[in-house]
Structure 1
Amino acid sequence: MVTEMARGKTLDEAMARTKESVAEALDGLPPQKMHCSNLGADALHKAIEDYRSKHAG
């Protein structure tokens, strides 16, 4: 879901995807599965941060 939400977006637009927006796109998740959407959003943010740090300047 995170990939679909980020596809075609600028880096800033992709960074705007939150844990909550991922869970909402999945039509909500049971509380015991909420960490799954958190992992996806966190991974996206880390990947963008890594890309930016390597391409800064």
Structure 2
Amino acid sequence: SIQEAMAITNKAVMEALDGLPPVKVHCSLLAEEAIHAALWDYAEKHQIKIEGLEKPKSDIHEEEEEEEY
């Protein structure tokens, strides 16, 4: 259901996978963000409001500072 999908967190993803190596923890965050982005897309296409759903960032790295090499 939509409510179940909204409740998915990166911690829940890690637990479902019986943990992740520290270097792969960011993958669980990407999974959470992808699910919420899909919900946003669904809501937009069906013109519905999903309580508690926030508009996803246009870029997953939007809030991170770019690293210079």
Q: Structure 1-normalised TM-score? A: 0.74
Higher helix share: 1
Q: Determine whether 1:35 maps to 2:35.
A: no
Q: For the residues of structure 1 that align with 2:17 and 2:10, how far apart are their CA atoms?
A: 11
Structure 1 segment 1-57 matched on structure 2, within 5 A: 10-56=1-47
Following TM superposition, by how much is the alpha carbon of 1:56 offset from its aligned partner in structure 2, in angstroms?
1.5
> Alignment RMSD, CA only?
1.1
Matched length: 48
Following TM superposition, by how much is the alpha carbon of 1:13 offset from its aligned partner in structure 2, in angstroms?
1.1
Write out the 4+ residue segments of structure 1 that deviate beyond 3 Å after TM superposition: none
Partner of 2:62: none
Aligned-residue sequence identity (percent) comes to 54
- The gaps in structure 1 that reach 5 residues or longer are 1-9
One-letter code aligned to 2:38: A
- The gaps in structure 2 that reach 5 residues or longer are 49-69
Q: Structure 2-normalised TM-score? A: 0.63
Between 1 and 2, higher relative CO (CA 8 Å, sep ≥ 6) is seen in 1
Following TM superposition, by how much is the alpha carbon of 1:38 offset from its aligned partner in structure 2, in angstroms?
1.1
Higher-Rg structure is 2
